[in-house]
Amino acid sequence: MAIGLYKPTPSEKAATNNVQRVLAETPDPLDGAANSPSDSEVEQGEPEISPYDRFPAHRRTMMVVVISWCGLLSPISSTTVLSAIPNVAATFNTTGSMVSLSNALYLVFMALSPCFWGPICQVFGRKTSCLATGSMFFLCSVATALAPNIAAFMVFRMLTAFCGTAFLVIGPAVIGDLFHPTVRGTALGWFYTGALIGPTIGPLLGGIIVTYTSWRIIFWMQTGLAATAMAGVVLFLSETLIETKDNKKVVMAQLTTRMEKAKYLARVTSPLRPLGLLLTSPKLIIVAFGSGSIVWNQYGLLTPIRYVLNPRFNLQSPAESGLFYLAPGVGYVVGTLGGGRWADYVVKRWIIKRAGERIPEDRLRSCVPFLGVILPVSILIYGWSVEKAVGGIPLPVVFMFVQGVAQSFCFPSLNTYCLDVIQARSAEAVAGNFLVRYLFGAVASAVVLPAVENLLGGEVGRRLDGKDGQ
């Protein structure tokens, strides 16, 4: 995991300098669409002096490790409860569908969260935002573990999502601050190791926990993960926000009165900024819908595993069905190891073809075969094998693995594109992408279990009501 090798070669620096010179002479229509003329505080392009050598390689490596751990928190929390839905339903004397609804609301707040935290981390900095949101995630996890009823459980779950998802927008912003565009995809690939593996190992851990102890231990474990993340932020994460004369933090410091600062702060931290940026950029909209389709597949695959595969293969415990989550999880690991590097390789190859010119859209070429062919085909084969009981356990497991690989080859390209295309507002560009992405995930999580219940009924319906004896 030699992230320190990300330092660009002299030839890459020369190529990028040539691109920056050409871009400086040619107005970018995307910037014109995304920024209003009165938005004087918006930074225009990357600073003239490269900021990517501010930290030595080992420091950058450690910061990627820390922010990747932070990025694990919200995604793992979104699925650890899946294996425990019947147990939570029994504790609160409600239905499995109601507990599943709480998970859908969790994803809704995952979608809304980046729109708040994206602009905030552009003003107050990356480290300050990490400390604030991590502390709140820690407290909300404790409250969820102690929830006395389903209403409190749902409220604290939503607050946990709102706090924890901030790391998913701050993390790419940190990596955008630290790494040159030609190697940024590799670094983001490592970051999304946590974000992608979390949803798959979560149900396995949850299944083991509820098999041997109370479901509340799941959230005490989550509390411990948050405490570890905060220790890492305090000890190893430096402030990475690039400060230029037009930087929002610098501009606000130059204002003299409290009223001026308050008005400026309200404007630049508005949660509508990421949405406005998204809606004024057709490119970002297309990429956001591509990301949303992948997350729909992810949660549509992971959410019903216990209710579909347990009766199909006569499995008896949450821990047994939890093992199925390892297949896409291993796929995410394999894809992460290669996805970011593949994206960077494609970008560098096209830079050479254009004699030194780098275009952000080149990065999207790397995910076309995975998003357009491999992922849809593997989804269809998985569904067919489960519905028709073909191939026993191995066939669906293999194509769950393939889906994991394909998804993790797509995400580094899609997310790095958001950083590259509007560098000055990278956190807001990523926030708009996550808004669409997790709204797709919320809908998938909300509809998949009722759909399974309506289509299959019988034993699945009893499991959804929390009456499977677990």
Rounded mean pLDDT, 290-314? 82
Cα dihedral 331→333→334→339 (10° resolution)? 110
Measured distance CA(128)–CA(73) in Å, rounded = 18
Report the pLDDT averaged over residues 149-166. Answer: 93
Q: How far are the Cα atoms of 20, 73, 95, 454, 468 from residue 194, in angstroms, in the given order?
A: 33, 8, 31, 34, 32
Decide if 371 contacts 235 (C-beta within 8 A): no
Q: How many domains does the chain have?
A: 1
Is 3 within the bounds of a domain? no
Asked whether residue 360 is assigned to any structural domain, the reply reads yes
CATH of the domain at 155: 1.20.1250.20
Asked if residue 223 lies in contact with residue 141, where contact means CB atoms within 8 angstroms, the answer is yes
Q: Is residue 55 part of a domain?
A: yes
| Domain around 298 | 51-464
177 neighbors 126 (Cβ within 8 angstroms): yes
Is residue 111 assigned to a domain?
yes
φ/ψ (deg, to 5) at 51: -90, 5
Q: How far apart are CA 324 and CA 373, in angstroms?
A: 24
Residue 405 has pLDDT above 70, yes or no: yes
Q: What is the mean pLDDT of residues 16-27?
A: 43
Both tokens of 338, joined, read: 């290669």
Assess if residue 356 is contained within a domain: yes
Q: What angle do CA 382, 386, 392 make, to 5 degrees?
A: 100
Note the Cα 270 to chain centre separation in Å: 21
The answer, yes or no, to whether residue 6 has pLDDT greater than 60, is no
**CB burial of residue 448 (10 Å; 0-12, 13-18, 19+):** buried
Q: Are 110 and 434 in contact (CB under 8 A)?
A: yes
13 in any annotated domain: no
Helix ranges (H only) for 388-425 are: 394-421
Residue 232 lies in a domain: yes
> In this structure, is residue 61 part of a structural domain?
yes
pLDDT at 131: 95
- Give 411-460 pLDDT, tens digit per residue: 878 888 887 887 777 778 888 888 898 889 888 877 887 777 777 655 54
pLDDT of residue 104: 81
Across 194-198, 352-356, 421-425, which has the greatest mean pLDDT?
Answer: 352-356
Q: Would the pLDDT of 27 be above 80?
A: no
Task: Find which of 62-66, 201-205, 248-252 is predicted with most confidence, using mean pLDDT.
Answer: 62-66
- From 145-149, 313-317, 370-374, the region with the lowest mean pLDDT: 313-317
Torsion of CA 116, 120, 121, 122, to 10 degrees: 120
Strand blocks (E) in 21-141: none
Instruction: Classify residue 244 as left (phi > 0), alpha (psi -120 to 50) or beta.
Output: beta
What integer pLDDT is reported at residue 40 of this predicted model? Answer: 34
C-alpha to C-alpha distance for 434 and 432, rounded to whole angstroms: 5
453: Cα within 13 Å, side-chain hemisphere: 16
Please choose, from the candidates 291, 329, 298, 294, the residue with its C-alpha nearest in 3D space to the C-alpha of residue 434: 291
* Whole-angstrom Cα Rg for the chain: 22
Do the beta carbons of residue 170 and residue 117 sit within 8 Å?
yes
> Which letter does DSSP use for residue 373 in this model?
I
- The confidence band for 183, taking pLDDT boundaries of 50, 70 and 90, is confident
Nearest by Cα to 349 from 368, 326, 338, 365: 365
